[in-house]
Amino acid sequence: MSVAPPRILCVGTHHKTGTVWMRRVWRLIGEALDIPFVPVHNPARWKKIPQTGRAIVVNWAGAFAPELFDNPEARFLHIIRDPRDVLLSGARYHENSPGRQERFLHGPREDLGGKSYQEHLQALPDPAAKLDFEMQNMHLKTLNEMLAWPYGHDRAMDLRYEDLIADQDCAIFVGVLRFFGFSGAEIETARQIYYDNSLFGGLSSESGVGRTATHVSSGKARQWPSKLPRAAAERYLECHGDDLITLGYESDKDWLSRLETDQQADAASPPFAQAAGGTA
């Protein structure tokens, strides 16, 4: 039985798992190789995808219509990140983001007494309260999206942000390009775009250019051991210890011993005020 060549190239991320980075990289690849870049924010609108020719189809909540998963012409790249780092990055970004890119942040909400999500977060008394609010709200939505992905699909490649952010020789990304059926010349063009728009390449901290660079306070992996307050970590273990195991980020529930924070350090150094960010 012949396998259909990849035509619908689906890229799925989640909030704070490299979305701004991947949006820029894949948009530029599409422009360079004359492949339409098609955001499908509502999975039900999958019919907007061109019926012929290749298309780069993106969804930043990792959500694609069942019809696409059943389509032999479609292949999927899916990126997740350690949820504890997503929590830290999200709380920092949602408290401090000056822009209007995230509409849910700025509208008044009845359940928050007329305050916006950001205003409510800013008004909370301490980092522990802010992390707890984030954990019960936007973070929970993002975590549930990561858990809902059909892991093990035979036409999907599941990657971790932690591996991509260390992919300095671009070997992992070249594997994605081959999986998507790119030719040799196309791979070289796309590989260079990826390098030029990554924090280890053209958007390193020394360059200080581009939207991705200005959007990121730190792209480092595994920030939670030194940034997550113990009280918040204990709460996370209680609520989502099983989810970390399901996603493969832990094999058991004994990870609190790896925390580098303590209560005294927590009080002196807010966990996400400066360096706990990451790509959206």
pLDDT tens per residue, range 219-269: 677 889 999 999 999 999 999 999 999 999 999 999 999 999 764 444 444
- Element spanning 55, H or E: strand 55-59
- Element spanning 237, H or E: helix 230-246
Domain ranges of the chain: 8-81+146-211, 83-145+219-268
Mean pLDDT of 18-25: 96
Structure tokens that stand for 257 in this block: 């011993």
Nearest partner of 190 among 77, 268, 103, judged by Cα: 77
Place of tokens 């409510």: 120
How many whole angstroms separate alpha carbon 113 and alpha carbon 116?
9
Read off the pLDDT band of 204 (50, 70, 90). Answer: low
Question: Which pLDDT value is given to residue 199?
Answer: 84
Asked if the model's pLDDT at residue 196 lies above 90, the reply is: yes
Helix, strand, coil percentages for the chain (3-state, nearest 5) = 50, 10, 40
Asked if the model's pLDDT at residue 172 lies above 80, the reply is: yes
Mean pLDDT of 178-201: 95
Asked if the model's pLDDT at residue 272 lies above 80, the reply is: no
Asked if the model's pLDDT at residue 278 lies above 70, the reply is: no
Question: Which pLDDT value is given to residue 34?
Answer: 98
Residues 87 and 16 sit within 8 Å (Cβ to Cβ):
no
Mean pLDDT of 8-30: 97
- Cα four-point dihedral sign 27, 29, 35, 40: negative
Question: Which pLDDT value is given to residue 219?
Answer: 62
Residues 60 and 23 sit within 8 Å (Cβ to Cβ):
yes
Structure tokens that stand for 213 in this block: 């660079």
Asked if the model's pLDDT at residue 277 lies above 60, the reply is: no
End-to-end CA distance of the chain: 40
- Answer yes or no: pTM beyond 0.85: yes
Asked if the model's pLDDT at residue 13 lies above 80, the reply is: yes
Q: Give how far the C-alpha of residue 145 lies from the chain's centroid of Cα atoms, to the nearest Å.
A: 11
Question: Which pLDDT value is given to residue 250?
Answer: 97
What percent of the chain lies above the pLDDT cut of 90?
69
Mean pLDDT of 207-218: 47
Q: Spell out the residues 6+ positions from residue 49 whose beta carbon is closer than 8 angstroms to its own.
A: 8, 38, 40, 55, 57
Asked if the model's pLDDT at residue 280 lies above 50, the reply is: yes
Nearest partner of 84 among 173, 174, 146, 148, judged by Cα: 146
> 143 in helix, strand or coil?
helix
90-149 pLDDT, tens digit per residue, is 999 888 877 666 777 778 888 888 887 888 888 889 888 999 999 999 999 999 999 999
- Element spanning 12, H or E: strand 8-12
Q: Output the average pLDDT for the chain.
A: 87
Instruction: Indicate the fold that domain 8-81+146-211 takes in CATH.
Output: Rossmann fold (3.40.50)
Asked if the model's pLDDT at residue 1 lies above 70, the reply is: no
Dihedral angle over CA of 212, 215, 217, 221, nearest 10 = -50
57-88 pLDDT, tens digit per residue, is 999 999 999 999 999 999 999 999 999 999 99
